[in-house]
Structure 1
């Protein structure tokens, strides 16, 4: 699988959510009103490129991994 290329700060709307690329391997996923749903992180796996969906748990000040996926869109869907 090919890596998603970073071309500056970009956004991508998908099924009622907005994905804003923060750097080459991290996207913030928000609702149209700006509420943050979570983050998608791209990482290398021996079998190819994977995408990790995670939410910030503010009270505990850490991230909760929702799941790891082979497709970016699947990771975004997990946060909706």
Structure 2
């Protein structure tokens, strides 16, 4: 079995948008935090044009879905109003 080919990362690991820091965790998941490090939400890519925003619920120990959006930017912008 051939060894996997590793490619260098060409995009930024952390992005700053709308007062949030956005860090890509996997190919389809991003963590959104405040500048002080407090986690605000997680953003998951569920398809080519489907993004879901979720937040951890401390009392239920599960993720509560905040909404589904048609683009990455739309989901991040929506966090300012949630």
TM-score (norm 1): 0.79
RMSD (CA atoms)? 1.9
- Which residue matches 1:3? none
Question: Which sections of structure 1, spanning at least 5 residues, go unmatched?
Answer: 1-5
Q: Which is higher, the Rg of structure 1 or of structure 2? A: 2
- Unaligned 5+ runs, structure 2: 1-8
Moved over 6 A (4+): none
Out of 14, 32, 37, the residue aligned to residue 40 of structure 2 is: 37
The corresponding residue for 1:55 is 55
Q: TM-score scaled to structure 2, two decimals?
A: 0.77
- Structure 2: distance between partners of 1:7 and 1:23: 15
